[in-house]
Amino acid sequence: MRSGFVSIVGRPNVGKSTLINTIIGRKITIVSEKPQTTRTCIQGIYTCDEGQIVFVDTPGIHKPKHLLGEYMVKLSTRSIEEVDLIYYMIDVTKPFGGGEQFIIEQLKNAVVPVFLVVNKIDLVSPERVDEYIENFRNEMSFTRIIPISAACNQNIEELLRSTFEFLPEGPFYYPEEDFTDQPISFIVAELIREKVLILTRDEVPHSIAVEIEEFKNEIGRKIYIRAVIYTEKDSQKGIIIGRNGQMLKSIGEKARKDIEMMIGMPVYLDLWVKVKKNWRDNEANLRQLGFRL
């Protein structure tokens, strides 16, 4: 048996979370079109006859504008040092630029195999894929270069086969039935945050955090969950609540459906919205909300 840890790094919105969800076969990390959706390292556990891969979904590497952003970038760069293999994931529809150059410079110091995983090949021609890959070949020598479409499940089997070739022999790190290392309360909070990301616009998505204050199993009835959505401004609070509470109601309804699908039980979701001014630049607030290096 082979087993090991694989870190997925790259710029925001290249499809890292979509890839993990596709491989695991269920949603363990949230997805949206907004950049910097992933804020912490989330492990997805894939187990099969060949062995076990523990995927580490990392925040997109970007130029930070606050303490939260600095925390996210530190997590991503540190993950390069603590795994058995690295996927450097790129989006073939985006231009090669300074962000890619910065990541490549970090990866040149890696002491483990680095795969260049070229995502979203379903959206461009094969000629475009080949031309795009040349930009990266000229900058660094990769262990493998594998074009995929995470959204369309294209070439994922080849990616997994190649991954097992480079993982060390060893026992499983987690029981076969596990699919993530995160507690259910964390995933619930992320599902709520995902709905805010999808349903709101402009500055609101980046300024929100979700905290689960109570998670109680009422035997024979349903799961009671009380969650607080924190934002930084009173105006943002108003947007999240919406006219006559309609926006908050929509967030709750959509989140509850996903939560019930995940845990297989009825859920009563009690949502509150509170203002925590400038929490992204306050170390104490970040620690309260679980952002710790």
282 or 192, higher pLDDT: 192
Mean pLDDT of the residues in the chain: 85
As to burial, measured by CB atoms within 10 angstroms (0-12 exposed, 13-18 middle, 19+ buried), residue 193 is: buried
User: What would be the CATH architecture of the domain defined by 184-288?
Assistant: 2-Layer Sandwich (3.30)
pLDDT tens digits, residue range 178-221? Answer: 988 888 888 899 899 889 988 887 667 678 889 999 998 876 67
**pLDDT (0 to 100) of residue 97:** 82
pLDDT-based confidence at 67, cuts 50/70/90?
A: low
**pLDDT (0 to 100) of residue 79:** 61
Query: Does the structure show a pLDDT above 80 at 70?
Result: no
pLDDT-based confidence at 62, cuts 50/70/90?
A: very low
Q: Where in the chain is the domain with CATH 3.40.50.300?
A: 2-166
CATH number of this structure's domain 2-166:
3.40.50.300
Other residues' Cβ atoms within 10 Å of the Cβ of residue 264 = 6
pTM of the model: 0.79
> What mean pLDDT do residues 4-16 have?
88
Q: Where in the chain is the domain with CATH 3.30.300.20?
A: 184-288
CA dist 188 and 214 (Å) reads 11
